Amino acid sequence: MTPPRYDDIYKQVVELLQEYAPQPGPISEETELVNDLGFDSLKVMEMLNDVEDAFDITYPLNSLSDLKTVKDFTTQILNIIETS
Amino acid sequence: MGILDKLNAVADARKTLFPPGVDPLNVVIDEIYSATEASIGGHRVLLAGTNNYLGLTFDQHCIGAAQSSLEKEGTGTTGSRMANGTFAGHRDLEKDLANFYGCSNAIVFSTGFVANLGVISTLAGPGDVIVLDADSHASIYDACKMSGAEMIRFRHNNIEDLEKKLKRLGPKTEKTLIIVEGIYSMLGDCAPLAEIAALKKKYGAWLLVDEAHSLGVMGDHGRGMAEAAGVEKDVDFIVGTFSKSLGAIGGYCVSNHPELDLVRYICRSYVFTASPSPSTIASVREALKAIQSKPELRTRLWDNAALLFHGLKELGFELGPDLSPIIAIRAPSREKTLFAWKALLDKGIYVNLVFPPAAPAGMSLLRCSISAAHTSEQISFLLQAFAEIKALMDKQE
C-alpha cells in the first residue's frame, strides 16, 4: 500500500521536475529523469537545492546512483523524511 | 552497444563546440621561454592561465637543486615508497612541510589530485559523513565517492546551508568531515574559513581544507587561507599541491593528528603509485624556501592581481566575487567565450577556456591566473587586448 504522504510528495516532485526539466513533457511515476526529461548531472544538482528546501531535508549525493524514475525520486524523499 | 559508443557523445560535443582546427582544451605549447611566455602555434604568447602564482618554474635555485639531484639520484624512483623505499628527499620534504605549517605530521603524494583522492578516501569510510562545498574540485568529489561515506553537499560558500546540514546530522557530526577549499579554482573566490571553522567547532566535526590555490598566496607567511583566517589550529587536515605556487608537481597533506602517519600504510594512491622523482622533490624543497624567504613575491602577486582585476572591472567585464590571483571573466554564452578565447590567442595571449561542468553554475569563463612574474607592461598588454576583445564582443550583440 502506498504510504500516506507519498501522493503529496509526488505532486511536489512533479512540479519541481516540470520547472527544471531540460526536455519538458508528460510526467508519470515511470518517467525517467535522464532519458525522458533530459536531466544531466548539473541540472540535477541545481534542482536538488530546491528539493532540499521544499521538503526541509538533506539529500545525500550517494542516493543519485539509485535514482532513475520519478517514483524512485519520490520514494527516496519519503524515506529521508521518515528517517530524519 | 560497444564500450566505445559512449565516446560518440564526446566526439559530437567537440564537433559542436569547437570549429575545425581549434581545440582550446588541447593546446600545445611548442616552446616555453619563461614563467610568463611561450610559443603556441608558431607565435610568441603571453601566458595568463598557468597557476604559476609565484613564477617559480624558472627560479634558478629550484632549477639548480633539480639539476644537482638529477645528476646524483637519477631520473625517477621507478616505484612506490612502500615497495621501492623512501628517498631521503621525500623524508626531508615531509619534515620541511611539517615545519612550515608547524604541524607534527606530513605525507607527500605524487600529485595534488591523488593527495585528495588518497587522504579523503582513507580518512572517511562507510558510516562516516562528508559535508563538502558544492564547488569542490573533481578530485574531492571522486575521493568522496571512493570513501563509501555518506556524501552531503552544501551550497557554495553558504554558511547558513552548511549549518543547516550539520544541525540535521545530530550526533553524527562527530564522524563528519567538512571539506572546503581555500581559494576556489574556477572563480577565484575565497572560502569564509573563519565561519566554517567556528561551525566545525560548534558541531564537533572535522575539517579538511584544500589549499591548492592558496598556498604561497594567502597568509602573512604564505601558508594559505587557514593562516589568513587565523584558524590553523582548528583545521584538522590541510591538503595541497606542488604544481601551482611551488612550480613543480606533487601533493601533500599535513596535520597535527599523529594518525596521519598511519594513512600512508593503507592509502591506495600512496601505496600503489610511483613516488615523486627526486629532482621534483629537490625543486619543491627550494620553492618552499622561496615562499618563506621571499615575501616580496606575494606582494608582487597581489599587486599584479589587483591591477588586472580592477582594470578588467573598469572595462565592464563581469568577474568573480573576490579579488584573487584567479580572475575569471563570465561570458554571456559558450560561443562568445570561445570567440573571445580565440581572439585573445590571436593577439598573443593565452588564458583558460572553461565550460560547464568544469565551471560552476552553468557558466562559461575566460579564466586568467596571474603571477608574481608578470611585469606591469605585460598586465597593460593584457588589459589592452581585453579592451579590444570587449569591443568586438559588444559589437556581436
**For residue B361, is pLDDT > 80?**
no
Q: What is the pLDDT of residue B147?
A: 98
What are the pLDDT digits (tens) for B4-49?
Answer: 999 998 999 889 888 888 888 899 999 999 999 999 999 999 999 9
More confident residue, A84 or B63: B63
pLDDT for B59 beyond 80: yes
Residue B317 has pLDDT above 70, yes or no: yes
Determine the average pLDDT of the residues in B311-333.
Answer: 95
- Block residue for cell numbers 572517511: B124
Instruction: Give the closest residue to B120 by CA, choosing from B104, B135, B136.
Output: B136
Average per-residue pLDDT for chain B:
96
Mean pLDDT of the B69-77 span? 98
User: Per residue in B138-170, pLDDT tens?
Assistant: 999 999 999 999 999 999 999 999 999 999 999
Catalytic residue among B213, B324, B364, B369: B213
Q: In Å, how far is B198's CA from the nearest CA of chain A?
A: 21
Contacts of A48 in chain B (CB under 8 A): 153
Q: Is B347 helix (H, G, I), strand (E, B) or coil?
A: coil
Q: How confident is the model at residue B114 (pLDDT cuts 50, 70, 90)?
A: very high
State the pLDDT confidence band at B179, using cuts at 50, 70 and 90. Answer: very high
The pLDDT of residue B20 is: 82
Cell of B280: 621534483
Please, which pLDDT band fits residue B110 given cuts at 50, 70 and 90? very high
Task: Quote the minimal CA–CA distance from B356 to chain A in Å.
Answer: 8
Q: Look at residue A2 and tell me whether its pLDDT is greater than 70.
A: no
Give A55-73 pLDDT, tens digit per residue.
Answer: 999 999 999 999 999 999 9
pLDDT band at B318, cuts 50/70/90? very high
Which pTM value belongs to this model? 0.96
Model confidence pLDDT, tens digit, residues A73-82 = 999 999 999 9
The tens digit of pLDDT for each residue in B262-302 reads 999 999 999 999 999 999 999 999 999 999 999 999 999 99
* pLDDT on residue B314: 97
User: Which residues of chain B lie closer than 8 angstroms to A46, CB-CB?
Assistant: 361-362
* Closest in B150, B151, B357 to A41, CB measured: B357
Taking 90 as the threshold, does the pLDDT of residue B85 lie above it?
Answer: yes
Residues 6+ apart with CB under 8 A from B383: B308, B311, B312, B315
Q: Which residue of A has its CA nearest to B358?
A: A42
| Confidence at residue A4, expressed as pLDDT on a 0 to 100 scale | 57
Lowest mean pLDDT among B128-137, B251-260, B357-366: B357-366
Q: Which helix (H) or strand (E) holds B364?
A: strand B364-369
Average pLDDT over residues A11-29: 94
| CA of A4 vs chain B CAs: smallest distance (Å) | 24
Mutate to test the interface with A, among B168, B178, B179, B186 (most CBs of A within 10 A): B168
Query: Is A62–B151 a contact, with Cβ atoms under 8 angstroms apart?
Result: yes
Question: Coil, strand or helix: which one is A84?
Answer: coil
Nearest to B168 among A46, A61, A84 (CB): A84
Residue of B nearest to A81 (CA): B168
- Burial classification of residue B231, based on how many CB atoms lie within 10 Å of its CB (0-12 exposed, 13-18 middle, 19 or more buried): buried
Q: What's the mean pLDDT when you consider all of chain A?
A: 92
pLDDT band per the 50, 70, 90 thresholds, residue B393? confident
The pLDDT value given to residue B363: 85
Query: Is-catalytic flag, B185?
Result: yes
The per-residue pLDDT for B188 is 96
Provide mean pLDDT across the span A34-62: 94
Q: Would you state the pLDDT for residue B332?
A: 84
Give the residue among B198, B187, B212 at the shortest CA–CA distance from B359.
Answer: B187
For the residues A19-33, what does the mean pLDDT come to? Answer: 94
Question: Residues B236, B255: contact at Cβ < 8 Å?
Answer: yes
The confidence score (pLDDT) of residue B16 equals 87
Residue ranges of alpha helices (H) inside chain B are 7-17, 60-73, 81-84, 88-101, 112-123, 138-147, 159-169, 193-203, 225-228, 260-266, 268-271, 278-293, 295-314, 334-346, 376-396
Q: Which of B48, B10, B25 is nearest to B338 (CA)?
A: B25
Place of cell 585528495: B116
pLDDT at position A31 over 80:
yes
- Inform me whether the pLDDT recorded for B65 exceeds 60: yes
Please judge whether B165 and A58 are an interchain contact, meaning their C-beta atoms are less than 8 angstroms apart: yes
Q: Who contacts B269 (Cβ-Cβ below 8 Å, separation ≥6)?
A: B109, B110, B114, B115, B117, B118, B121
For chain A, percent of residues with pLDDT exceeding 90: 86
Best CA proximity match to B143, nearest among B151, B154, B134, B133: B151
All cell numbers assigned to B94: 615531509
Give yes or no for residue A1 having a pLDDT over 60: no
The pLDDT of residue B146 is: 97
pLDDT attached to residue A3:
54
Predicted local confidence at residue A41, as pLDDT: 86
Phi, psi of B79 (to 5 degrees): 170, 180
Which of the two residues, B137 and B334, has the higher pLDDT score? B137
| Sign of the alpha-carbon dihedral angle for B293, B297, B299, B305 | negative
Which residues 6+ apart lie within 8 Å of B393 measured at CB?
B331, B336, B339, B340
